[in-house]
Structure 1
Amino acid sequence: MEVHMEKDKKVTALYCRLSKDDGSNSESLSIRTQKAMLLEYATRNGFGNCQYYVDDGYSGTNSDRPAFQELLDDIRDGKVATVITKDQSRLGRNHIETGT
């Protein structure tokens, strides 16, 4: 499953995070499941130009995650129209910081 970004069009950011590595060097099953769920939701609800942002093996208690920081930068740069994630805890475990 591959998602391509269309040039000059804002993206629908599909953010996935898993806090513990599943023990393999490849992408975890949970991340694959989150990706499929988010893409299906986006497609069913008319959100196009999807781009994945994935932090596999990173804790939600810390916002110092590579894909999360890239997502924030893209939001600040006006590249993102919508962010979709499985639930708010994928963005972060600190509910006050996550809400901000």
Structure 2
Amino acid sequence: MKNKDSLKITALYERLSKDDEQSGESNSITNQKKILEDYAEKNGYANLSHYTDDGWSGASFDRPNWKRLIEDVEQGKIGTVIVKDMSRVGR
């Protein structure tokens, strides 16, 4: 198992802006969750927790679940963060 401390969270971060919604199914929150869950399972990550910002632009880091994820990282609760691609983190 890659997550050495099984008590730590494997954070799965999804974001979709209103503009991304028009890009089609490949960027949908549901699709991102499936991709991340499949990757985590295939690679032995456990204790999964989703952090989802639906309808938030990547141009700002002032997103509620992004901020919660960062707080959890700083508090040592998270061992790994997985995203579909770097554009989900920010632009």
Query: Which category describes the TM-score, using the shorter chain as reference length?
Result: 0.7 to 0.9
Runs of 4+ in 1 over 4 A off after TM superposition: none
**Deviation, structure 1 residue 90:** 0.4
Gaps (5+ residues) in structure 1?
1-7, 23-28, 94-100
SS of the residue aligned with 1:16?
Answer: strand
Identity %: 52
- Paired amino acid for 2:33: K
Distance 2:81 2:44 in 1: 13
RMSD (Å) for aligned C-alpha atoms: 1.6
* Alignment-derived partner of residue 70 in structure 2: 72
**Deviation, structure 1 residue 70:** 0.2
**Deviation, structure 1 residue 10:** 0.4
Q: TM-score, normalised by structure 1?
A: 0.76
Which structure is richer in relative contact order (CA contacts within 8 A, separation 6 or more)?
2
* Alignment-derived partner of residue 33 in structure 2: 35
1:16 aligns with 2:14: yes
* Alignment-derived partner of residue 90 in structure 1: 88
Gaps (5+ residues) in structure 2?
1-5, 22-26
Q: TM-score, normalised by structure 2?
A: 0.84
- Paired amino acid for 2:78: V
SS of the residue aligned with 1:84?
Answer: strand
